[in-house]
Structure 1
Amino acid sequence: MRYYHLWNDHQQQLIVERGKSLFNLAEATPSVQRFEDILKGAAVTNQPIDTIAEMLIEDAAPLSREVLEERPLSMPLSPDEVWAAGVTYRISEEARKTESSMPEIYLDAYQSDRPELFFKATADRTVGPNEAVGIRRDSEWDVPEPELGVVMSYGKVIGYTIGNDVSSRSIEGQNPLYLPQAKVYDRCCALGPCIRSAASLEDPHTLEMWMSIRRDDEIVYEESTNTSEMVRTVEELVSYYSDHNSLPRTSVLLTGTSLVPEDEFTLRAADNIEIGIEGIGTLSNSVVEV
């Protein structure tokens, strides 16, 4: 199942997709308006989120699929925190070494038992589908980073989404200690367009992923890969994130950068970024300076 947040008459509504059918769960009960409401029901009844949704679907009429195009989407959840993993793909390790004044540390992180994990964003620094992600005015080299996002509730994996870990390569490249400034700022992260339930996604390690960047109606970057290229498993990354760490009700862990534009490329204001992951959907965002 896929879960979307749609705006309708200035209200956010939770839409669930089962097969080719869409249902507005608020029709079944007004107490379910957001994905977090499904999580509450699952916690109270000790049932999977898809089981709760199935029960509500019985009292909700199907919607036309056109609503996904006609109504604006918003973030599929408002996570208490977003974290990210670094150098989990070979291409990411090579890019970080190229940009850095201390390249050897990234080789160590790629090959070591312990992954690189870092805090990325809060909900108010994160945007949803069709909103603008940000690039810093004090940065000269900025890139999108398409990533599979693991959605968790109190550390338990409940679903997957698409993330864009927008980053300043120039700031991080000056000194690895500047990583928080390169990663954490207004509009530094995008999530969406939906949450695919973990129970309905057979294997997160075999998904096709692609990204394109359009500038002035011209595609300036387009490439694809597969999550099978990741050297860490989702279970491994979640374990290191969870160990010795009291986790909030909702969090998202981005699993690493799989596609990196050429070194000569940098994002500009008004660019448009599209990131797609098989079985989840496509996340689209424009770019603005912050």
Structure 2
Amino acid sequence: MKLLRYGEHGLEKPGILDGQGQIRDLSGIVGELAGETLGRESLSRLKALDVGTLPLVEGSPRLGAPIGLVPKFLGIGLNYRDHAEETGMPIPEVPIVFAKATSCVSGPDDPILAPKDFQRMDFEVELAVVIGSRARNVAVENALDYVAGYCIGNDVSERSLQKGGPGEWIKAKSHDSFGPLGPWLVTTDEIPDPQNLDLTLDLNGERMQTGNTATMIFTVAELVSYISTYMTLVPGDVITTGTPPGVGMARKPRVFLKPGDELVLKVAGLGEQHAKVVALD
């Protein structure tokens, strides 16, 4: 299934894509795509629906992030071997886990806001994992059972803050609009192997990033298991799993985002994001 949320910011309704790629309204079935709705039993009930009988949503409404409530927004640093190498950093021995403020979550096509004092804004296409069931101390071999599905994430970062000293990552990665998710949440039955997905990012029509989740240092299952030993993961938690090579700070010359730039992000089976960078007054 491809689950989504549509409508104006703060007024989004739950929806689902039908076989023709049209949005069907789910608001008569579930109140929100969050919490227990993301659990296995709930998703099984949604999968059993005759989607064609649901109300058709006319036009092309704005899409919000596909999860209505994100209790924790976690990221993984340097999780692609070739990305770690391009930054000149050592290959991590254990996952590097950081947090993004949940207030940075935005829709897949919403503008990315550029404050005047941010001069080194960077892009990172990532596979985002959405937790569906409470997970604490889970084994690697069972970890994917706790996943509701996957979506595209863009871990937008202001590098001047990230490199400003210990503990600065959350400031660098949490400005409003720095966490686009979507366009939809694709359930695990449609993504049987999260370790074989192509990722790309284009900036103003030029390919910047190309990668495949097969080159991740730590797999999705390993990440879920590892994080669950340090904190309980709950439904709606999002983990962005690292980015392939080609980020702006590692290019020669460096390439950073500026107002007017347009981004297209793709992950196989998960759709596309289209975003424009807009100056924040």
TM-score class, shorter-chain normalisation, is 0.7 to 0.9
> Which one of 83, 88, 95 corresponds to residue 115 of structure 1?
95
The 8 Å contact of residues 18 and 24 in structure 2, kept in 1 or not, is answered as no
Within 1, Cα distance between the matches of 2:7 and 2:163?
Answer: 40
> Which one of 27, 42, 48 corresponds to residue 55 of structure 1?
48
Within 2, Cα distance between the matches of 1:271 and 1:225?
Answer: 22
Counterpart of 1:80 in structure 2 is: 71
Root-mean-square deviation (CA, aligned residues, Å) is: 2.6
Post-superposition offset of 1:198: 1.0
The 8 Å contact of residues 114 and 278 in structure 2, kept in 1 or not, is answered as yes
Post-superposition offset of 1:189: 1.1
Counterpart of 2:143 in structure 1 is: none
Counterpart of 1:17 in structure 2 is: 17
Q: Assess, with a 3 A threshold, how the Cα gap between structure 1 residues 185 and 60 changes in structure 2: closer, same or farther.
A: same
Counterpart of 2:36 in structure 1 is: 40
Post-superposition offset of 1:18: 4.9
The 8 Å contact of residues 25 and 56 in structure 1, kept in 2 or not, is answered as no
Letter in 2 for 1:250: G
Q: Assess, with a 3 A threshold, how the Cα gap between structure 1 residues 40 and 185 changes in structure 2: closer, same or farther.
A: same
Counterpart of 1:138 in structure 2 is: 117
Q: Assess, with a 3 A threshold, how the Cα gap between structure 1 residues 236 and 5 changes in structure 2: closer, same or farther.
A: same
TM-score, structure 1 length as denominator?
A: 0.80
SS at 1:93 equivalent:
helix
Structure number with the higher strand fraction is 1
TM-score, structure 2 length as denominator?
A: 0.82
Q: What are the Cα deviations for residues 187-243 of structure 1, in whole angstroms up to 9, with x where unaligned?
A: 2211010000012211111111111111xxxx3444422111211110111112211
The 8 Å contact of residues 25 and 55 in structure 2, kept in 1 or not, is answered as no
Task: Between 275-284 and 223-232, report the one with greater CA deviation.
Answer: 223-232
For this pair of structures, how many residues does the alignment match? 263
Q: Which has the higher contact order (CA 8 A, sep 6+)?
A: 2
Post-superposition offset of 1:138: 3.2
Post-superposition offset of 1:81: 1.9
Whether 2:169 is the aligned partner of 1:175: answer no
Whether 2:2 is the aligned partner of 1:6: answer no
Q: Assess, with a 3 A threshold, how the Cα gap between structure 1 residues 176 and 221 changes in structure 2: closer, same or farther.
A: farther
Post-superposition offset of 1:116: 0.2
Post-superposition offset of 1:59: 7.5
> Which one of 249, 260, 267 corresponds to residue 270 of structure 1?
260
Post-superposition offset of 1:32: 1.7
Q: What are the Cα deviations for residues 48-102 of structure 1, in whole angstroms up to 9, with x where unaligned?
A: 51x21133336824748xx5x72221111131221000111123313443xxxxx
> Which one of 221, 225, 234 corresponds to residue 220 of structure 2?
234
Counterpart of 1:93 in structure 2 is: 84
Within 2, Cα distance between the matches of 1:229 and 1:149?
Answer: 15
Whether 2:229 is the aligned partner of 1:243: answer yes
Counterpart of 2:140 in structure 1 is: none
Structure number with the higher helix fraction is 1
Whether 2:106 is the aligned partner of 1:127: answer yes
> Unpaired runs of 5+ in structure 2?
136-145
Letter in 1 for 2:78: V
Letter in 1 for 2:117: D
> Unpaired runs of 5+ in structure 1?
98-105
Post-superposition offset of 1:169: 2.0
The 8 Å contact of residues 198 and 210 in structure 2, kept in 1 or not, is answered as yes
Within 2, Cα distance between the matches of 1:171 and 1:59?
Answer: 48
Counterpart of 2:130 in structure 1 is: 151
State the identity as a percent: 26
